[in-house]
Amino acid sequence: MSRTATSPGHVTQRLHFIVAFLVASNSALATPCQFESQDQGRVAAIVDARSVRLDDGREIRLTGIEPTATTKQALASLLTGRDVTLRSPDDTPDRYGRQGALVFVGESGSSVQAMLLARGDAIASAEIVDKDCAAALMASEAAARRQKKGSWADPSAIKNAESPDDILAEIGRFAVVEGKILSVRQVGAMTYLNFGRNWTRGFAVTISKRTLAAFESAGITLKSLENRRIRVRGWVEGNTGPRIDVRLVGQIELLGANEPTGVGP
């Protein structure tokens, strides 16, 4: 019986194919945000810029994002009448009865949240605890920032920490602020990251004592942030000087010393 000879070139091609297949398989398994499916449904209505109603009456809140002026319209174009899969580590409704989830259309491997962020139609909220998923969502936003898509086309989309009056105008809204931390001070159970010399009027980030453990677990010592440039996101509050209260490590991103405003990783 004769045996067909296999050339070294064919062997190499087969090995390359096998390696590529294994890499692709591992990548698929490692796809971020693929949490356990918490059910499926069809979107019947867009409730607001971050919530939809399914045809069975359930209200779903899209986790991981904060809306912009264009989010509701973008949601309508992406989701109205579409079959969706809900993915989340927990399906417990919030105090308003809404089920929080990452929403996937059909068999898509990308969440609607990632699509909105990549188009500049939403801002990453930093509420996703899973590190890989959070990083993927932040990467989608970063790509839109670099390309000045959607809301990032507006030069004022990112506030300058050296202009506290501009930040004060955003009280009650979710904002993204960039600047250099001039000092780190602890007063009682609160740590202040100060961006201005005038602690009363200048912009500051506040971090409560109960949040310190999360920063320590991430290898971040708050005092080490002094003289560092950061990007911080959160709800603006305050009466005299504007404040953002940081409760999650993901709300703060370290920036390079000479990194252009609004770019970042």
- For strands 204-208 and 243-245, give the pairing: parallel
Residue-level pLDDT at 89: 87
Please state the φ and ψ torsions of residue 150, each to the nearest 5 degrees.
Answer: 55, -130
- pLDDT of 37: 87
pLDDT at 259: 62
Q: What angle do CA 165, 170, 175 make, to 5 degrees?
A: 110
Phi/psi at 138 (5° precision): -65, -35
**What pLDDT does 77 receive?**
95
Indicate the DSSP class of residue 100.
E
Q: What are phi and psi of 246, to 5 degrees?
A: -95, 120
Tell me if 37-151 shares its fold with 154-254: yes
Q: Where are the domains of the chain?
A: 37-151, 154-254
Find the angle CA(214)-CA(215)-CA(218) to the nearest 5 degrees: 90
Strands 99-105 and 59-62: parallel
Fold of the domain spanning 154-254:
OB fold (Dihydrolipoamide Acetyltransferase, E2P) (2.40.50)
Answer yes or no: are the C-beta atoms of 238 and 177 closer than 8 Å.
Answer: no
- Choosing among 3.40.50.300, 3.90.1300.10, 3.30.70.2190, 2.40.50.90, the CATH entry for 37-151 is 2.40.50.90
The helix (run of H) or strand (run of E) holding residue 195 is: none
- The helix or strand, by DSSP H or E, that contains position 37, with its residue range, turns out to be strand 37-48
Alpha carbons 145 and 162: distance in angstroms, whole number: 21
Whether 174 contacts 235, CB under 8 Å: yes
Q: Please, which contacts does 103-107 make with residues 24 or more away whose CB atoms are closer than 8 Å? A: 103/52, 103/60, 103/62, 103/79, 105/78, 105/79, 106/82
Please report, in tens digits, the pLDDT of each residue of the chain (265 residues total): 444 444 544 434 443 433 333 333 333 334 788 888 888 999 999 999 999 999 999 999 999 999 999 999 999 999 999 999 999 988 888 888 899 999 999 878 899 999 999 999 999 999 998 999 999 999 999 999 999 999 999 999 999 999 999 999 999 999 999 999 999 999 999 999 999 988 889 999 999 999 999 999 889 999 999 999 999 999 999 878 999 999 999 999 999 866 656 655 5
- What is the spatial distance between Cα 67 and Cα 133, in angstroms, rounded to a whole number? 19
Contact assessment for residue 102 and residue 85, using Cβ atoms and an 8 Å cutoff: no
Residues 123, 185: Cα–Cα separation, whole Å:
29
Considering the entire predicted model, what is its pTM?
0.83
